[in-house]
Amino acid sequence: MPNSLSRTDREIEAIYNRHINAIYRLCFTYMKNAADTEDAVQDAFIKMMTHKGIFENQNHERAWLIVAAANVCKDKLKHRSRKHADIADYEYLAASGGFEPDETICEVIKLPEKYKCVIFMYYYEGYNSREIASALRKPPSTVRNLLHEARELLRTQINCGKIGVDFDAE
């Protein structure tokens, strides 16, 4: 893929269409409402448009966008003191043709910030721990530890809510 300064509108649109659903889902796990999610998604794609690096392939492009979106969300959350989700936003997403959050994603939303991106990349995007470590610039052992801790938290949350989901170890 060419340098970002020479990306055409068609290339940007193709990147957007390939990754919008994944980026929206990730941002929603952080922002917890539709309006803030849409702002974060927009900021993540603007970051991509101004990115001067070259994406090696679509997998690299997707990983870069996931990390950029997670960072955008974390930055936005630092500047706000908001910690709760509005259930009406879940209903809005389903009605607007966006993704329909299931019970598991609702539990992922409740996780501490440090776990959301690794869980999203592993379970929703299919990256392995080495790929996540590379994208997040963390040691693979740290990523595996974060996944383990997040799974334990999810098991506890899900068992309390009696949701039948199994989070197998890597």
| Residue 57 pLDDT grade (very low, low, confident, very high; cuts 50, 70, 90) | very high
Domain segments of the chain as ranges: 1-101, 102-170
If you search the block for the tokens 């590379």, which residue do you land on?
134
Least confident range of 59-73, 76-90, 94-108:
76-90
If you search the block for the tokens 């197998």, which residue do you land on?
168
The answer, yes or no, to whether residue 125 has pLDDT greater than 90, is no
Structural tokens at position 134: 């590379």
Burial class (CB in 10 A: 0-12, 13-18, 19+), 95: exposed
Structure confidence at residue 163 (pLDDT): 46
The answer, yes or no, to whether residue 85 has pLDDT greater than 90, is no
- Tell me, what DSSP letter sits at residue 111? S
Structure confidence at residue 28 (pLDDT): 93
Cα–Cα distance between 155 and 35 in angstroms, integer?
A: 30
Cα–Cα distance between 19 and 158 in angstroms, integer?
A: 29
Say whether pTM exceeds 0.85. no
Span 50-72, average pLDDT: 92
**Domain 1-101 is in which class?**
mainly alpha
Span 25-43, average pLDDT: 92
If you search the block for the tokens 């803030």, which residue do you land on?
36
Kindly list the distances between the CA atom of residue 165 and the CA atoms of 49, 113, 135, 145, in Å, as whole numbers in the listed order.
38, 21, 27, 20
Is the domain 102-170 a CATH 1.10.10.10 member?
yes
The answer, yes or no, to whether residue 69 has pLDDT greater than 50, is yes
Span 48-67, average pLDDT: 91
Instruction: Identify the residue with better confidence: 112 or 165.
Output: 112
Q: Is 70 helix (H, G, I), strand (E, B) or coil?
A: helix
- Tell me, yes or no, if the two domains 1-101 and 102-170 fold the same way: no
